[in-house]
Amino acid sequence: MMKAIQITQPFELNVIDVEMPACGEGEVLLRIRYVGFCGSDLNTWRGGNAMAKAGVIPGHEVGAEIAAVGPGVPDTLRPGMTVTVDPYTACGHCASCRNGRFNACEFNQTLGVQRDGAMREFFVVPWQKVIVTEGLAVRDCALVEPLSVGFHAVSRAQVTEKDVVAVFGCGMIGMGAIIGASLRGATVVAMDIDDEKLAVAKAVGAKYTVNTAYEDVQEGISELTNGLLADVVIEAVGLPVTQRQAIAIVGFTGRVVFIGYAKDQTTFRTPDFVKKELDIYGSRNACPEDFRAVIEYLKRGTCPYDQLITSVVKPEEAADAMRHWHENPGKVFRILVEF
């Protein structure tokens, strides 16, 4: 038997015992070292994640080592390697898969959401889902997936060095977008209601910041761009107010990327984006190339890990850590559980 963490019901998280797995044909047994709690886990714990299965074992932000490989696994994957995991599935038959956009599979099941995840001592995955991260500390591998989601949004917007990119939300996903856009040479404006998060945003590449709690967003962007507004706006909050503001602060013929899910319906005035002839994109999950780009960024050694990793806790401390996050939602980037 081994330890695992389960969200048993709203506002209840427990350490449980589950069977030790073994890897079969084409599978890899991972020794899980670190797993991150993400915003979807917090929503599941609160009982507000309609996509999550009941009694789910969370965990899709993984830092692990290969413990064993089964028959049929390529020799490029060997015991002892440091790895992370691609946590998504693809059916291969839906419209997204037929178009080669497997990250947006209609029937995707993300680890720790629609199916049990990796928050346990050992975990088995198909070899195709293992991403080698040699050169990174195993702890830091748990940051790869959430940052990749932000990188994917930057890719969707086709950001270049000529762009002014405004990012709503400086959580981990927004940080990924800020880093990804700044690596492409863009001028990045970070927007959030928390000055501490905005300071971290500057540390990872934002040139300007706007505290939307007390600064006028549209006026601020207009001043920074001499009235042209932003070339790209990435919305990583998921609130109707910021989704509407995204349309308002993007310039004519600009691009808007929505990552955040709004719980309530968002209404728009269509002339606001028809007259501007905007390109409006959804952005979901991440692609293998996004994972690779994040890994290369982290290998540079410039990432302020200590500012992005709020705390590292043992499984027995996870319930208290989740309660702390619930009570202080603006003060947490990532909580990692160490096995």
Write down the pLDDT at residue 108. Answer: 97
Give the predicted TM-score (pTM) of the model: 0.96
CA dist 13 → 4, 73, 176, 320, 324 (Å): 11, 35, 28, 9, 13
**Given a cut of 90, is residue 263 above it in pLDDT?**
no
Paired residues of 37 in beta bridges: 335
pLDDT (mean) for 217-245? 96
Contact 24, 69 (CB under 8 A): no
Q: What is the pLDDT of residues 286-324, one digit of tens each?
A: 999 999 999 999 999 999 999 999 999 999 999 999 999
Strands 334-338 and 208-211 come out as: unpaired
Write down the pLDDT at residue 331. Answer: 84
pLDDT (mean) for 104-119? 97
Q: What share of the chain is helix, strand, coil (3-state, %, to 5)?
A: 35, 30, 40
pLDDT (mean) for 132-137? 95
pLDDT (mean) for 28-50? 95
**Given a cut of 90, is residue 335 above it in pLDDT?**
yes
pLDDT (mean) for 260-275? 91
**Given a cut of 90, is residue 262 above it in pLDDT?**
no
Percent of the chain with pLDDT over 70: 100
Backbone dihedral region for residue 135 (phi beyond 0: left; psi -120 to 50: alpha; all else: beta): left
Q: What is the pLDDT of residues 65-100, one digit of tens each?
A: 999 999 999 999 999 999 999 999 999 999 999 999
**Given a cut of 90, is residue 330 above it in pLDDT?**
no
Write down the pLDDT at residue 264. Answer: 87
- What is the spatial distance between Cα 183 and Cα 28, in angstroms, rounded to a whole number? 33
Paired residues of 255 in beta bridges: 232, 279
Percent of the chain with pLDDT over 90: 95
Cα-based angle 310, 316, 318 (whole degrees, multiple of 5): 35
- What is the spatial distance between Cα 65 and Cα 122, in angstroms, rounded to a whole number? 10
**Given a cut of 90, is residue 50 above it in pLDDT?**
no
